[in-house]
Every structure is written in C-alpha cells, then in structure tokens.
Structure 1
Amino acid sequence: MERFTQAIEKSIESENWYAALTLALTMPDICGQISYPDLRGSSNSKKRYIKWFDRYMLHHYESPFHGEGFIFMSGGDCYALRCALLHEGRDDITSQKARREVLSKITFSTTGSHRAMIEDLLILNLQEFCLEICQGVKSWYEDYKDSPDVQDAIKELLTIHTQEFSPSYGIFIK
C-alpha cells in the first residue's frame, strides 16, 4: 500500500494536484475491496467505500463544536465526490446517483482553510485531505498487516515496473 500513499505524497510535493486527489479518492475503494470480501462486486462498491470511510476517515469530519453528531462530510458524500470526479471531472455532487448526505459541493484549495463549511458547501485544503486519506490507509494497513488474505490481495495490486523485470520464467524485460 505504501506505493500508493507515496504516489499521493509525491504528487502533493510536485503540486500535481489532480493526480493526488484522484488517487486519494480511489484509496477507500482499493482498501474496501480488500478488507470487506463479503462486499465484493461492483454492486457493493458504494457500501464498501462508505464502510471504509466511516471507519478510517469520519473522525476527521465530525465536529463536537457544532453539536452532537454533526458531520461535515459523510462517507456517502465522499463517495459521491469520488463518482463526480472520476466519471465527470466535477466537484458538484448534487446530480450523483450515489446521493449526497450532507453536502452539495466540495471545493478544494491549496491555500487557506481546511474543513470550512458554508451552508452545504465544504471547502477542503487539498493537501490536508489527501494526507488524511494516506493516514487512513496507513491505519487500515496496521489493522490488517497480519492477515494473510489481505497481504495476498495487496500483492495482486497494480505494480508499475520502473526497472528491468521478469514477468514470467524465461522472459526478461529491459
């Protein structure tokens, strides 16, 4: 999982904002697919995503200062954002079938406030949001590091080869 979190972190360092955000928004999908085998299959993508977000991210988006149980952004909102960005290149989540729960739009900035809410608009600092996702992935990994099934699934994830390698016995790619 480190290769994915490092890619997000490097994208932030190089100010490749869209790459950082896109990968960050896919991480709950990847982790959820691995850790919730009972929810595998495309029809359960939303359920997996929300379950993972609520376990590893929701604490960042709850606010006791706004009243008991106040949530800035729910797992459903983040999933709607993921769908809006990945399928439409947008941040307006009002038209998503995934259905928003708290918000209608999430706007990102690389300067200024993080988690500032104006009515049903949430302003997030892109770097902070992406790093929160990375921390969630690292926490998730700690929870599952001793699971052979999870470790086997992680080994099956995409690897981009940047050096010479052998994809199978007797074949060598330079």
Structure 2
Amino acid sequence: MTSAPRDTIEALTYEAREAIGRGSPYSALAIVLMLPDICGNVDFPNAGSQSRYVRWCDANLADDFGPYGGDAEGMIASGDLYALRCSMLHQASGDVSVQRAKEKWSKVQVTTELEGSLPVSLASYNDQIWVSVEFLTDCICRGVEAWLTEARNDPARVAILADMLTIRPSPFHAAIGDVTIDTSEALPTSS
C-alpha cells in the first residue's frame, strides 16, 4: 500500500506490514490475530467471537492455510488460528492445548525469517506447527484486503466500517506554562 490508509481496517493492515518491515514481529502478530475478529464482527455481528472468527477465516483464508500439496498435515485450521489468537493476546503464549477452539495442534511456534535463517513459512511436526510471522502477516493482510474490497460494495458493511474507532490528531495543543485549545476545529459535543 503506497497511499495513506482510508479507514481503520486499511490502517491496521498497513501497520501490520510496517511492523514486519521495522522488525516488530510481536506488534505485527497482535494486529493480524485481531483482524479476523474485527472483520468477522462486520460479517457476523450476532455470532459469538469464536464462531465469527472461524467463519470469517474459513471464508477468506482457506486458500493460504489449507493443505499444502494435498498434505493435510501442513495446514493451520481456522480453529487453531483462533486458539493462537486467544493464547497470544490473553496469555502471550503459543500453547494452545488448553484452548477449546484448537482443532489439531497443541502448540503453535511462531518464527521469524531473520537474515541467515532458513525461511520456513509453515511446517509441522508431531502435535506442533511452526508458522513464520511474516507468512502469517502476509496471508491475513491479503485476505483482509480482498475482503475489504468486497465489503466496500455492501451498504450494511460500509455502515459498520464507518462506525469503527478512528485515531485522530488531538485538537489540544500545549504551550509552555499553560494549555490552550486549538479552536480551528470544534470539539464534538455529546447530545
């Protein structure tokens, strides 16, 4: 993406990719694990968190996370991705064995493709799967970007997207010794 993000979802995909570029894999991982939750809420607003996450991933990420070369061993299922989201965002852990959403793997090892290391996007051994944060970020961001293109043509989704949190510059400007308010823009009022 070369232009400035137009909305919250676009800003999050941009920031996830930027985090990879500046060597901040934890930031990228946290963002991309949140994105299916956010997008799933747009598509399935009345579903529970796990249901909407898994349904959204099944619909939008299956091509990237499905079986490689017909080998079901080398895949990460939507439930495993949700289990990683829960473990990482709530406990900073890759141990998904206690997550009720897990489908196959008991541990997800997240790797990074550092210079000089063997780049492995997705691999499995016994009950563990290894996935590179770069691969995960790229796959989920591409899925979200494709979904967003479609979502922008649906008025119901556009209404939900328009109501998302937007981080804006503060209208407050500090001066040495006192605080002043920039009145060039009116502050929102509550009704």
TM-score by length of 2: 0.78
State whether structure 2 residue 23 is matched by structure 1 residue 19.
Answer: no
Letter in 1 for 2:107: K
Counterpart in the other structure of 2:40 = 32
Counterpart in the other structure of 1:62 = 66
Deviation at 1:128, TM superposition (A): 1.3
1 or 2, which has the higher helix percentage? Answer: 1
Runs of 4+ residues deviating >6 angstroms: none
Q: What is the CA–CA distance in structure 2 between the aligned matches of 1:102 and 1:155, rounded to whole Å?
A: 37
Q: Which has the larger radius of gyration?
A: 2
Gaps of 5+ in 1: none
The number of residues matched between the two structures is 164
Letter in 2 for 1:54: D
- Provide, for residues 65-108 of structure 1, a one-character-per-residue CA deviation record: whole Å limited to 9, x for no partner: 345x666111111101000011111001001133x111111111
Deviation at 1:137, TM superposition (A): 0.3
Q: What is the CA–CA distance in structure 2 between the aligned matches of 1:117 and 1:22, rounded to whole Å?
A: 22
| Cα 1:102–1:142 shift into 2, 3 Å | same
Q: Does the CA contact (< 8 Å) of 2:105 and 2:128 recur in 1?
A: yes
> What percent identity do the matched residue pairs reach?
28
| Cα 1:171–1:64 shift into 2, 3 Å | closer
State the Cα RMSD in Å.
2.1
Q: Does the CA contact (< 8 Å) of 2:84 and 2:108 recur in 1?
A: yes
Deviation at 1:125, TM superposition (A): 1.2
State whether structure 2 residue 111 is matched by structure 1 residue 109.
Answer: yes
TM-score by length of 1: 0.86
State whether structure 2 residue 121 is matched by structure 1 residue 97.
Answer: no
Q: What is the CA–CA distance in structure 1 between the aligned matches of 2:60 and 2:168, rounded to whole Å?
A: 30
Q: Does the CA contact (< 8 Å) of 2:74 and 2:122 recur in 1?
A: no
Gaps of 5+ in 2: 1-8, 114-118, 173-181
How is 1:127-146 mapped onto 2 (pairs within 5 angstroms)?
A: 127-146=134-153
Q: What is the CA–CA distance in structure 1 between the aligned matches of 2:126 and 2:70, rounded to whole Å?
A: 13
| Cα 1:107–1:70 shift into 2, 3 Å | closer
How is 1:77-88 mapped onto 2 (pairs within 5 angstroms)?
A: 77-88=80-91
